[in-house]
Chain A
């Protein structure tokens, strides 16, 4: 309480701090709340100043509107921006868990122990995941790899955080990024030292102190010169969250000759069949590539009521490479506006975009992509393929490719297709004994193959099952 008082006293205006329970900030957003968060996190002064600056910029910004996305805009003063990481209520057995959720787990092939972990059932000591985590961390530490919560990094590695935070996604980049910069509380920090190839997939799952998914997560990943890392975010299990609004920021820095592979599976609660409830997912993800560096984004998005995200690459260094592989599924009343931006600044920079949209039910899916070739980007290359697969007649899919070329030597190719799962394809499968649901899964997986192939093996298998579950009952 001491630090909190020290930090807040000077600006103490309305006197509400005396009343609040120290584990949760009152609803609303103002500078005092930000001071409160920063104090709670025991942050250095510069971090607080950084947040406040972001907040001031945010106050001047307006929430964006998009043509094909409709939702009730959240009341930002009706949200609590801090609550201490709570342990999930511990259950005694899976019998106490929502049977619908268990059914989904089963379909996804999630092991019993994993089901227990996800639903907060106390796990028997037989498979002790903690020991797995410990060996994992020890191994990383030996190689000098830092992988920890962002709040710990702010305290333990302030020089690194200070040097890179906000360099890829500036505080005032957009409405949601500014909001995140002001109030972020969770997320990961990762640093791979020079020349180190991280020997395993880093997954948020293994990060210790992980307490569910945060509402305003911030991830900062730095691959130093010549290093390599593959990072996994999210999980295929359905994530229910009381927080409707999620506004994450992910910043990737790939220094000279470094490579970052960032894979995401997003399966937040999409709302019910009528479109009620569900998470609004507004994410800013961006990476910067220095000389000869490479960043690939791979994502499988099946969840959330509204998704807005454009993982992007700034190809600053010569010969750098950016890749974007995406599968975005929308069903029922889900809406997704996703895509990527490839900003070519260096010479001989290359980018590849493979986007596969799948729309079912009454959903709307949009691909929005920008390929920008700067004046200095001699011999830049881009290849984009944006496909949409429609199931039924009530859904909609839109493709908005924007291309800006400032250097004549650029080669930019764009292909787009829209298809429907054909009656002929389904009948062919049926005739070979494959029921319609399974046939759809087969066809959809085939359609997404180029993207799924980019995922690490186990993740790909899970993602395939996830696609099946997400599209269940979408035809016939």
Chain B
């Protein structure tokens, strides 16, 4: 599904990613943890194709294709989805209109006809119900005036509508209250299948209680310094990152 080799990325002359290797197979859930500023969001932005970063070395393959030269929208059309740590507000553009455009552009990118409005509305209602979102969100400007938790829930709503092959969830749990966390996690779990994969970026075990990862990676200072199974997350939760820092420097 996703194969990253020796990825180096910098911005404005500062090296942020310093040799990342990561392979995610269909059906897997990976968790990426790591201290603030270690490069988690940068990694997700680079995978999604944000152009501000300079990539000096390495490669990214997605569904067996080298995507390094593809635009963000082309990657999206292939089935890549990023749930943003800080979703962006677009005043005056309703959630419905935004999603309609996103879905139809993605379909166009894949050579499909636009989705009939009726089907789209039906799907939207279903997914909103699944995520226990109020219908009033459909006509609100996207993310404008949304609370932190509402923004995150809206990201997962979009993911549910777009049905990606690979979803990267960048701190989707932060800002969610306990009930919302469960609802959102259930939503994510419903979208899991043997054909798609999920990368969750998080600081907390509580999300991983709901979305159980196959692998856990620790990103530190632009590198994956440790990988393990779900028990690694529990260990981090109780011990913090210091012991890892010591391990590296030792």
Enumerate chain A interface residues (CB-CB to B < 8 A): 422-425, 427-436, 438, 442-443, 445-450
Contacts and interface: CB of A to CB of B under 8 A. Distances in A.
21 contacts: A422-B88, A423-B52, A425-B88, A425-B90, A427-B45, A427-B50, A430-B76, A431-B72, A431-B76, A431-B84, A432-B76, A432-B105, A433-B103, A435-B71, A443-B93, A446-B90, A446-B91, A446-B141, A447-B92, A448-B92, A450-B92
Interface of B: 45, 48-50, 52, 71-73, 76-77, 81-82, 84, 87-93, 97-98, 101-103, 105-106, 109, 141, 158, 162
B167 to A, nearest CB: 11
A165 to B, nearest CB: 40
Contact of A438 (B48, B49, B88, B105): B105
A interface, over-half SS: helix
Contacts of B158: 432
B88 A430 contact: no
B84 A428 contact: yes
Contacts of A445: 92-93
Nearest to A422: B88
Contact of A442 (B45, B50, B76, B98): B98
A424 B73 CA distance: 14
Contacts of B45: 427
B118 to A, nearest CB: 19
Nearest to B86: A424
A443 B102 CA distance: 13
A451 to B, nearest CB: 10
A434 B73 contact: yes
Given A432-B76, A433-B105, 18 more contacts: A422-B88, A427-B72, A430-B49, A430-B76, A431-B82, A432-B105, A433-B76, A433-B102, A433-B109, A433-B162, A434-B101, A434-B105, A445-B92, A445-B93, A446-B90, A446-B92, A448-B92, A450-B92
A430 B76 CA distance: 8
Contacts of B72: 427, 430-431
Contacts of A447: 91-92
Contacts of A431: 48-49, 72-73, 76, 81-82, 84
Given A423-B52, A428-B87, A442-B97, A434 B102 contact: yes
9 A-B pairs closest in CB distance: A446-B92, A446-B93, A433-B106, A430-B72, A432-B102, A449-B92, A433-B76, A428-B88, A433-B105
B153 to A, nearest CB: 16
B111 to A, nearest CB: 13
Nearest to A443: B90
Contacts of B81: 431
**Residue among B52, B72, B101, B109 having the largest count of chain A Cβ atoms under 10 Å:** B72
B213 to A, nearest CB: 23
Contacts of A446: 90-93, 141
A423 B87 CA distance: 13
Contacts of B105: 432-435, 438
A64 B128 CA distance: 58
Contact of A430 (B73, B91, B97, B162): B73
Contacts of B90: 425, 428-429, 442-443, 446
B93 A442 contact: yes
Nearest to B72: A430
A446 to B, nearest CB: 3
A442 B162 CA distance: 18
Contacts of B84: 428, 431
A67 B1 CA distance: 59
Contacts of B91: 446-447
Given A435-B105, A446-B141, A430 B71 contact: yes
Contacts of B106: 432-433
B7 to A, nearest CB: 18
B162 A432 contact: yes
A436 B48 CA distance: 15
Nearest to B158: A432
Contacts of B103: 433
A390 to B, nearest CB: 15
B169 to A, nearest CB: 13
A442 B48 contact: no
Contacts of B73: 430-431, 433-436
Contacts of A436: 73
A446 B94 CA distance: 8
Nearest to A427: B50
B53 to A, nearest CB: 11
A107 B72 CA distance: 25
Nearest to B52: A423
A149 B122 CA distance: 50
Contacts of A450: 92
Nearest to B109: A433
B50 A433 contact: no
A422 to B, nearest CB: 7
Nearest to B99: A432
Contacts of A429: 90, 98, 102
A445 B71 CA distance: 23
A438 B76 CA distance: 15
Nearest to A441: B101
Contacts of B109: 433
Nearest to A430: B72
A442 B82 contact: no
Given A430-B73, A431-B76, A442 B49 contact: no
A204 to B, nearest CB: 29
Nearest to A435: B73
A425 B92 CA distance: 13
B88 to A, nearest CB: 4
Contacts of B89: 425
Given A446-B93, A448-B92, A438 B50 contact: no
Contacts of A423: 52
B49 to A, nearest CB: 7
A436 B82 CA distance: 17
**Residue among B49, B93, B98 having the largest count of chain A Cβ atoms under 10 Å:** B93
Contacts of B77: 433
